Structure formats: C-alpha cells, structure tokens
Structure 1
C-alpha cells in the first residue's frame, strides 16, 4: 500500500515481474481507479476478478511494480518466483503441512523461516510440478 501511495499511481502489484513466490501476490488500487474500472469494464471476468482489467489496459492507468528486492534484505528472499506457496492441490497441502509442523510460530508463521525451511530441506520438489490455474 505504501508503494502505491508514495508513487501516486493507480494500481500496484507484485505480479508484473514474478519475484515473490506464487501465493504471495499482492495487488492494491485507488478508489478513483476502481470507480473507472467499474464504469468501463464490460467483460464478465473483469467483474469477477477486477484487477485483470488494469493489466489488460495499462495505457489507462499508472501502474507500479513491487519486487521482492524492494521488500527483503536477505538474498534468499529475493527473486523467488519459482516457489509455489499457495494451497490449491494436495501436493500444496503437503508442503504446508511440513512447514507448519517444523517452523515455530505464535500467531503468524514467519515467511522467512518458511522459505529457509523449503530451501534447507528441498521441499519445493513437493509441489513444483503443480500448474497454476488461470483467472480467465
């Protein structure tokens, strides 16, 4: 959110260049730009998911990219687009099960500790073959 406000843009996402793991997608937009999307969008998938309209019509909006190196100092947290840390399939669940069984946490699981565990134990092999479903 801060990146969008600082930039003065309409739409900010970390999906333009995949540097965060799949499942860490973040998209924010201004109310003003959202009202424009509401007024101008006619396709059903724009009504259901909203943000594809921004990406399909970049000439209409000031878009801002967020990359992992802008957020994390640790090298192992940067450029991790090959990781899949999202829950859609049974193999994704197995990855989550192992992470939550082995990483200590109180209320919120520390992302850096989860990724360190994935790296240390080569857990990405559990769900690397799972294909991400498309929005459309």
Structure 2
C-alpha cells in the first residue's frame, strides 16, 4: 500500500504569521512536523504542500535546504492543493497533517496506517477526545478525488476532508479508538497564537527531542498546569 503524508503549510497565518518557521528547541516548528511524520511506519513519502504565493517562497526554500519534497498550489483551495500534490505520487491513501501541529502523535498514526491497510476503507474516524494538535487524518485517494468533485462549498475546499465528516453516509469508514492515555481534550498542543507558541516552547525545552512521545507531552502538561494554562483560554476558529 502506498500511503503518503501531505503536510499543509503556509506563512500567512492571521493570528501568528510565519509560525511554522519559528524556532522550536534547537530546530524549528517545521522540522518537528517533518521528523515526526517520517517516523510513521507505513508512510512512503512526506511532502510539504504550500501555496504559490511569494510569501511562501520561504517554505519552498526551507524544503530545498532540508531536502524535503514539496508542492506549491492554491492558497485558498487547500483541497485542490492536496489533490494536485497527491496526483504526482499515485497513492492508495493520503494522510493529512497540518504544519501547526509540531507534536502530532506519530505513534498513534502508525496504528492508524496499519488499521487502514488492513481494512481498506474510505476514511478513518476517531472515537475519543484527543488534545487539539495531535491528530492526523487518513483518507483513501479515490475518496479524496470524490470530495474534490462534489465538495464545492468554501468550507470543503479549505478543510480538505470536511465533506466526508459532514456527509458520512456517502463513505465507508473504519473507527479508531483513541487510547485512554491520550484522552485529554482540555489540552491544546497546537500553534495558532503567541500563547500556543509559549506552551510548545516550554514542551520542547523540557524534552529537547522532536520525537518525544505525545503521551509524555500529555503527562508533562497534566503535571504542570501552569504551563497547560498558558493557552487554555484560546478559542479555536470555527469552520464556516
């Protein structure tokens, strides 16, 4: 089975511009994303998908300097960006990762890839409540092409797989049960604001390891509420 991971990335964040190239530990945020995705057994290629806007030249230059595959496409039509990127690799499955999740749970993702390869469904649905910032999504390439054809609303173009969650009856899904040691919905381990950056910087400082287990990160934040509370007040932007 050919499963590729596509990391969507851009410099133009409204709340924290340039966030994915900010320093994190001894490296930067995007390095964390790449290293953790490359640690996912069963993934054959990791590609950064950015926009063709001049402001994202910095991401292309970073990828070239770090010998990371990348693709450039539409800024706003992220679904099309994914499809055009995936076409180059002829995958069976596509893993969606967002670059603002430097502690994405690669260990759980290994289990999800194994499950998808075994069950060969359209999409994996998660049962449970992860901290924000740890999840990946896995969808079959044919299902992604179907969404590209029928998902025409702005929310579908921006959020890639959203159509499959909105119209679940149109897809064959398999459920992955989130382990109990990852059930911590109150935690926010993502990067969208300055407060988020303060929190992930503290995490990186504690472990100094881009491949630290997400379970250890969760345990650290639960044991240190003064750090977990740095971004507890941040509200996620709604899907519109």
> Aligned to 1:66, what secondary structure does the other structure show?
strand
The aligned residue for residue 119 of structure 1 is 222
Kept in 2, the 8 Å contact 1:94–1:126? The answer is yes
Shift of 1:58: 0.7
Shift of 1:18: 4.2
TM-score (norm. length: structure 1): 0.81
Instruction: Tell me the distance in 1 between the aligned counterparts of 2:152 and 2:224.
Output: 47
Instruction: Tell me the distance in 2 between the aligned counterparts of 1:5 and 1:79.
Output: 24
The aligned residue for residue 232 of structure 2 is 128
Instruction: Tell me the distance in 1 between the aligned counterparts of 2:195 and 2:228.
Output: 10
Instruction: Tell me the distance in 2 between the aligned counterparts of 1:66 and 1:78.
Output: 13
1:110 aligns with 2:220: no
1:5 aligns with 2:117: yes
Mark the CA change 1:18 to 1:130 in structure 2 (over 3 Å): closer, same or farther: farther
Instruction: Tell me the distance in 1 between the aligned counterparts of 2:197 and 2:158.
Output: 26
> Aligned to 2:116, what secondary structure does the other structure show?
helix
The aligned residue for residue 72 of structure 1 is none
Out of 13, 26, 30, the position equivalent to 2:136 is 26
Out of 148, 151, 159, the position equivalent to 1:41 is 151
Deviation per residue, 1:96-129 (Å, 9 max, x gap): 1211112242x42332222221122113222111
Deviation per residue, 1:28-74 (Å, 9 max, x gap): 111111121122222122123221100111110012232321xxxxx
Question: Which of 1 and 2 has higher RCO (CA within 8 Å, sep 6+)?
Answer: 1
> Aligned to 2:174, what secondary structure does the other structure show?
strand
Out of 173, 196, 202, the position equivalent to 1:98 is 202
Gaps of 5+ in 1: 70-74
Kept in 2, the 8 Å contact 1:20–1:67? The answer is no
The Cα RMSD (Å) is 1.9
> Aligned to 1:116, what secondary structure does the other structure show?
helix
1:78 aligns with 2:188: no
1:57 aligns with 2:167: yes
Instruction: Tell me the distance in 1 between the aligned counterparts of 2:177 and 2:229.
Output: 24
Shift of 1:134: 2.1
Instruction: Tell me the distance in 1 between the aligned counterparts of 2:164 and 2:189.
Output: 25
Instruction: Tell me the distance in 2 between the aligned counterparts of 1:113 and 1:98.
Output: 13
